[in-house]
Amino acid sequence: FKGLGEMNAKELYSTTMDPETRQLLRVQLDEDNNLEADRMLDTLMGDVVEPRKRFIEDNALNVRNLDV
């Protein structure tokens, strides 16, 4: 699945929402890491294409695991 919106309700429950099998992980960032995470999310998920393209081109040879 590309995203949660592509799943039907049964698939979403069994893979993500079922309290018997789901695993929740709390993520906390300090201020420095929070700023870096915010910048990276903006680069990778933002509306401006050029920074994302540059990031991919700069890091393409370093990829070890690619899930497509």
pLDDT digits (tens, 9 = 90+) for 15-66: 889 999 999 999 998 988 999 999 999 999 999 999 999 999 999 999 888 7
Q: Give 14's contacts (C-beta < 8 A, 6+ positions apart).
A: 21
b/e sequence 29-50, b meaning 16+ C-beta within 10 Å: eeeeeeeeeeeeeeeeeeeeee
Confidence tier at 68 by pLDDT (50, 70, 90) = low
Sole residue written with tokens 């999310």: 41
pLDDT at 41 (0 to 100): 95
d(CA 20, CA 17): 9
Whether the full predicted model's pTM is greater than 0.75, yes or no, is no
Q: Where are the domains of the chain?
A: 4-62
pLDDT at 33 (0 to 100): 93
